[in-house]
Amino acid sequence: MAMKKASELGIRTLASRISSPPFISRHLHASPGSKKIVGVFYKANEYASMNPNFVGCAEGALGIRDWLESQGHKYIVTDDKDGPDSELEKHISDLHVLISTPFHPAYVTAERIKKAKNLQLLLTAGIGSDHIDLKAAAAAGLTVAEVTGSNVVSVAEDELMRILILVRNFLPGYHQVINGDWNVAAIAYRAYDLEGKTVGTVGAGRIGKLLLQRLKPFNCNLLYHDRLKMDPEMEKEIGATYEEDLDAMLPKCDIIVINTPLTEKTKGMFDKERIAKLKKGVLIVNNARGAIMDTQAVADACSSGHIGGYSGDVWYPQPAPKDHPWRYMPNQAMTPHISGTTIDGQLRYAAGTKDMLDKYFKGEDFPPQNYIVKEGQLASQYV
């Protein structure tokens, strides 16, 4: 049901044919015979056996191993993805399909694409394919697809939770309890109600719309900025106001939520200068992509108090190194990349991945909204 609702919110179109370097098709569909498929997922270790539906980890392997191997395909699964000596690198030269997730992304660079002579298909089990050099993939004639809508509910719910955690100053209270302390004033002096606050989302695609719908009962002032304006009926139903000028919207916001994909245009868009123009004490939630933010600028603004609180589950790179400044900045409620990999989300993106693989083997097209790169063309949100 969640995927159906998400797909109804909008279907992405493909645009902007890549003309340089020249497009060379590697064919969308599988040629006959056994295929080598490599999956890159996070390792679950002792947690793998604790839930039979935990399919999104390396041990669970999306639950498709028996199905693939019964058809004569070779399925390699690893969590070792980075560097020239990684397990993934050993298989780059002869794999046909690479499956990865945003939660433990296999960074597919132009160099790796050049080495992958047999590669035809890059699948993201989830949503967000910015770990792939999409222009290089398009130029090489590869197909890139993801399971659109599979975990939009998961992410939108997580964003709402993070907003409330920041607004109510929840984490200091939690830390007091586990540390044996009790100091109500240290929490209450910066705890607020969400009602009446101005919340702006940068991006109002599937996740952004779902978040706005969930915020409506809190009686907030809802703003949104996006490439596309919602149709008037949906805008009225949600009760949100369109802001065409991003820099005009941002200073109005008590809370800013990032819901835009990572592209060349959005990379580093929240830099020192833009952050300085935000309302002092602004709260920011970012479950989109870490690289949309200037890492040090965010850390500095949290330290100065200009950003009153920052929460999200996305970092750059991932996994985040131990010395990443967001781990140690004040007023943060960061986690590893978890929002879209709930058990419910895993089951949806595992089923969607299996469906696309089945269509690939049969020579059938994928659902149109799943394509990120097809026949040398990029989806419009990545242009």
Provide the token pair at 373.
């790169």
Provide the token pair at 95.
């794999």
Provide the token pair at 256.
């800013």
Per the annotation, does 53 bind a ligand? no
Per the annotation, does 117 bind a ligand? no
- The answer to whether the beta carbons of residues 223 and 278 sit under 8 Å apart is no
Per the annotation, does 263 bind a ligand? yes
Per the annotation, does 338 bind a ligand? yes
Per the annotation, does 45 bind a ligand? no
Which residues are 286's β-sheet partners?
Answer: 258, 312
Per the annotation, does 219 bind a ligand? no
Per the annotation, does 265 bind a ligand? yes
160 residue type, one letter: L
Provide the token pair at 189.
């002096």
Catalytic residues: 151, 289, 318, 337
| Among candidate residues 144, 103, 150, 127, the one with its CA nearest the CA of residue 314 | 103
Per the annotation, does 287 bind a ligand? yes
Per the annotation, does 207 bind a ligand? yes
Per the annotation, does 183 bind a ligand? no
Per the annotation, does 206 bind a ligand? yes
Q: How far apart are CA 104 and CA 125, in angstroms?
A: 11
Per the annotation, does 179 bind a ligand? no
Strand order in the sheet with 121-124: 14-17, 377-379, 371-374, 143-146, 121-124, 97-100, 36-40, 74-78
Neighbour-count burial of 323, counting CB atoms closer than 10 A to its CB (0-12 exposed, 13-18 middle, 19+ buried): exposed
Tell me the pairing of strands 307-312 and 198-202.
unpaired
Per the annotation, does 197 bind a ligand? no
Would you say the C-alpha torsion 89, 91, 94, 100 has a positive or negative sign?
negative
Instruction: Cite the annotated binding site by residue number.
Output: 127, 151, 206-207, 226, 261-265, 287, 313, 337-340
Instruction: Cite the annotated binding site for substrate by residue number.
Output: 127, 151
Instruction: Cite the annotated binding site for NAD(+) by residue number.
Output: 206-207, 226, 261-265, 287, 313, 337-340
